[in-house]
Amino acid sequence: MNFSEVFKQSNQLCKVSPDGKYLATCVQYRLVVRDFNSLQIAHLYTCLDPVMHMEWSSDSLFILCAMYKRGLVQVWSLEQPDWHCKIDEGSIGLVSSRWSPDGRHVLNTTEFNLRVTVWSLCTKAVSYIKYPKACQKGVDFTADGRYMALAERRECKDYISVFVCDDWHLLRHFESETQDLAGLEWSPNCCVLAVWDNCLEYKLLLYSLDGRLLSSYSAYEWSLGIKSVAWSPSSQFLAVGSYDEKVRILNHITWKKITEFEHPATIINTKAVVFKEVEKRPVVGSEDLSIHQLTVDNSLFSTQSKYEITQLPAQVPVIKPDPDRANPKIGISALAFSADNRFLATKNDNMPQSLWVWDMQRLSLLAVLEQTAPVRCFVWDPRRPRLALCTGNTKVYLWSPAGCVSVNVPVEGSFQVLSLFWHCSGSSLVLLSKEHICLCYVEAGASCGHT
Amino acid sequence: MSPSRLYTASVMPPLPLSSFNVSSNFCTEENISECILYINQELSSLCFPPIFQNSDSIRDLDAVVALNNIHDLLQLHRRAVGMMEELEVEQLKSSSDLHYQHLTNSRLKDQLELSKKENMRLHERERQLETNLKTLQNCLKDTKEEVQRLQGIIASRAIQYNHDIKRREREHNRVKERLNQLLIAKKENKQGMEVLNYVGRSDGRRCLWKTGKTESRHEGDMYKTLLSEFDNRQRELMVENIELKKVLQQMKREMVGVLNSKKMSQKEEKQSNDMDQTNSDDDELLKGHPEMSCDHAREKLTNSIRQQWRKLKHHVERLDSQASMVQDEDSEEVISKQLHEEEMERLKLEIQQCKEFIETQQQLLQQQLNTPCDEETAAVLNDSYMLEEKERLKEEWKVFEEQRKNFEMERRNFTEAAIRLGHERKCFEDDRAMWLKHQFLNTPFADQMKPQSRMADEFSKHSGREEKLISISGKVSKSHL
């Protein structure tokens, strides 16, 4: 694995263009666009304020930079560097800004979620959408970019509006049977909308594209409910992670639960492999402590680590959450399916150092990765069943069905990997630390044997 | 006296005083002296003085002594009777006591029984009450736990609600502040968008006006999407369904095949025949329309599969039990599990060894291929090896040639010898014939028999010898050829 040099960024704003050719990073006021292969600066733009949110348009021709404090959105063009566009929300303020799927409209959510303004880059038309709901995930676009679902709240009731992104025509508007809608997500085949209630009530509703209620699912009453939801890429499964530390998988034919994945503190399933990260400190001899060595060779201080396979039954470290706090750190907070549908990675908040990988073909636990620090971020390779994760230290970890490996980021000084994402081709990883980024080139066919 | 008789059956009745007929029974005119003697004896045994003296005559009776003795006897008798009466009374008393004791005993036994039963009943009740108590305690514990759990839930919900309320209150305050700001602020920042020029749509088409037609078009598009999705799903499910049906039918056929190939009893055969019948029915039903299958056919298929599977399972279980029983015997057909496993282990080991062998060979081969450092030396080496080989081969060839020549010569010699031998034999035959002819012609006729016989003997001897010679020469010639 090769690593590139380190570049600056701020606010964790670093995105690869959808076509994979460019890498855009924001450094305070500036927007730097580099060619992905050569990492040479292709374009440089300057915004009026430190950028809080940056997004590529779907056709990779425009970049949106939002500055929430000033209520400004600036759009830059890659084809015409002198083209400029500035959207000022004025006194009404700005809390979020995003592209529409066609890459020609900008949706701005004003402060206090008063309304959503749809600005068009093609025409002078401006649309307003009233009463948007401020929740975990109130807006979602279908994968083909044709429809948008928006959660609304009027008169203490939840509604869902489906818009046609072509001309922002309101296709359907129906009341949702939730008490307090927390999120909605389209299925990858664009035909089913999953809507879930907030944690006080476990309720998952499935609506068809034309607004009919297909099914409703509730696993239990009273205790804290749904924490996270994920569709499988084929739309066959819907994984629901809840506060009771279980993931329930629903199937797309009957919308009933086919299995539930538990996250027990003691793993006794003999088919699962438990990888435990073990740090090995290098032995330092007295003659090695020269100043030269200390400054140049950072491997002296960064510890190497490798994975060891633990014998079953294995204990997973559990951290009991504070019972007096809201949104307790317990339950499945993150779910991700692999691109080929075969694997599901989950993270249980009261076992923050462990990552669980499930085999979707056998519907059983495949591997548990126990790290030395809480897992901060994990993402699947968009092309193959390979999982990259980071825990905030100087290493990046890769898991694949062949095994897992831990790689130290060989950067001068220490590079604490806070988050990461894959390039769309799956051939490289972009690692983000607090103020820097680094690219990691991974061989496409590399099988990771555990060291 | 009569009541005493009822209770004192064992006691002999007292002698009635009135029925004294002693004289008629005991003493008569004849045996007076014996009686007297007897009475003397008896009296002396009872320590009375005798009524008769020994030396006196037989009938000399001492009247005083006799009367004294009689008086004493009467006294004794009276005393005895009195004692007997007393004893009888005593006995009556004790028997009535005993009876009373018996009665009380039985009464107390009954009471004991009753109290035992009562005790058991009370025990039983106590046990039931205890189990009741336990279950109620468990219920109480469960309810307490439930209550605790619900309290926990209520507490967490309350925390969520509070958190939510605080958040909303904060937001509300911010809204109020902003509203105040806006009311106070003089300059109103208007919303607006500044853009250098409008860009075209990503798909290159023009923007359309919003009309009723577009609306219906949108509706149509939406329904098309849904329909296509349904179609896809239905197609996938159909394909899956057909696959599964095929698999089921194949499974069924295979199971039937497996079950029929084993030797089964008459009954099972009959059953299988019936099953085959139904199987053929199924096949007919489903053969024609694999896509359309009514519930009935589907059910039949699944039922028949279940039945076949059950039979197969029984069969396999039977085989298993057979195998375990047969383990000790040396049966050719059935190999015991242990032997089988040993065989497997051995084969595995063999495979391992072969693999290692192949690896080493590969390595050596690799080495061999790798060792020639450059082509020239390799070529030279190869040539030198070849040369050596060639030389050796040449020498060997020479040797072979020589040997072949020798063999040829010998063969020729032998054939010549054989031919010569043939000629010589012919000459010898001719000579013999001549010699015999001479002999025959020269011998006189007088000694016909003997010489003839002698001749015959000699003839036979000669012929025998000649035969031997011929056979020997034949053998020799044969060997040489």
State pLDDT tens for residues A323-354.
Answer: 888 889 999 999 999 999 999 999 999 999 99
H helix count then E strand count, chain B:
10, 1
B74-93: average pLDDT:
95
Q: For B193, which of A77, A102, A119 is closest by C-beta distance?
A: A119
How many angstroms separate the CA atoms of A48 and A68, rounded?
11
| Kind and range of the H or E run holding B70 | helix B63-184
Which chain B residue lies closest to A236 (C-alpha atoms)?
Answer: B233
Task: Report residue B112: phi and psi, to 5°.
Answer: -60, -45
Q: Do A124 and B198 touch (CB under 8 A)?
A: yes
* Distance from the A119 Cα atom to the nearest Cα atom in chain B, whole angstroms: 8
Structure tokens at A139: 């807006």
Least confident of A342-356, B247-261, B323-337, B349-363: B323-337
User: Which segments of A17-146 are extended strands (E)?
Assistant: 22-27, 30-35, 41-46, 53-56, 62-67, 72-77, 84-88, 96-99, 105-109, 115-120, 126-130, 139-141
Structure tokens at B278: 């139904």
Question: Contacts of residue A189 in chain B, CB cutoff 8 Å?
Answer: 229
Q: For A169, which of B192, B196, B210 is closest by C-beta distance?
A: B210
For residue B323, name the pLDDT band (cuts at 50, 70, 90): confident
Q: Do B174 and A223 touch (CB under 8 A)?
A: no
Helix B375-442 vs helix B449-480: angle between axes, to the nearest 10 degrees? 170
Cβ distance A64 to A94 under 8 Å?
no
More confident residue, B206 or B315: B315
The β-bridge relationship of strands A53-56 and A181-186 is unpaired
Cβ distance B308 to B326 under 8 Å?
no
More confident residue, A176 or B37: A176
Structure tokens at B252: 């069924």
The CB density around residue A114, as the number of other CB atoms within 10 Å, is 16
Q: For A112, which of B171, B214, B219 is closest by C-beta distance?
A: B171
Question: Contacts of residue A103 in chain B, CB cutoff 8 Å?
Answer: 202
Q: Please state, for a pLDDT cut of 90, what percent of chain A lies above it.
A: 67
The CA-to-CA distance between both ends of chain B, in Å, stands at 154
Cβ distance A269 to A316 under 8 Å?
no
For residue B285, name the pLDDT band (cuts at 50, 70, 90): very low
Q: Do A209 and B193 touch (CB under 8 A)?
A: no
- Taking Cα atoms as reference points, which of A188, A189, A128, A137 lies closest to residue A160? A137
Which of B63-77, B309-323, B339-353 is the most confident on average?
B339-353
Q: Say if residue B20's pLDDT is above 80.
A: no
Q: Do A88 and B189 touch (CB under 8 A)?
A: yes
Q: For B225, which of A84, A126, A190 is closest by C-beta distance?
A: A190
Structure tokens at B466: 């000649």
Residue-wise DSSP of A50-73: --SEEEE-TTSSEEEEEETTTTEE
Who contacts A308 (Cβ-Cβ below 8 Å, separation ≥6)? A275, A276, A278
Summarised one tens digit per residue, pLDDT across range A241-272 is 999 999 999 999 999 999 999 999 998 877 88
Q: Please state, for a pLDDT cut of 70, what percent of chain B lies above it.
A: 72
Who contacts B141 (Cβ-Cβ below 8 Å, separation ≥6)? none
The CB density around residue B316, as the number of other CB atoms within 10 Å, is 11
Question: Contacts of residue B166 in chain A, CB cutoff 8 Å?
Answer: none
B307-332: average pLDDT:
77
Q: Say if residue B42's pLDDT is above 70.
A: yes
Q: Say if residue B266's pLDDT is above 50.
A: no
| A contact test, residue of B148, B156, B210 with most A CBs within 10 A | B156
Summarised one tens digit per residue, pLDDT across range A176-199 is 999 999 999 999 999 999 999 999
How many angstroms separate the CA atoms of A281 and A294, rounded?
15
What is the ipTM metric for this complex? 0.80
Structure tokens at B133: 């108590």
Q: For A169, which of B190, B207, B214 is closest by C-beta distance?
A: B214
Residues in chain B: 481
Task: Report residue A270: phi and psi, to 5°.
Answer: -75, -15
The CA-to-CA distance between both ends of chain A, in Å, stands at 14
Summarised one tens digit per residue, pLDDT across range B369-396 is 776 556 676 677 777 778 888 999 999 9
Task: Report residue A223: phi and psi, to 5°.
Answer: -70, 165
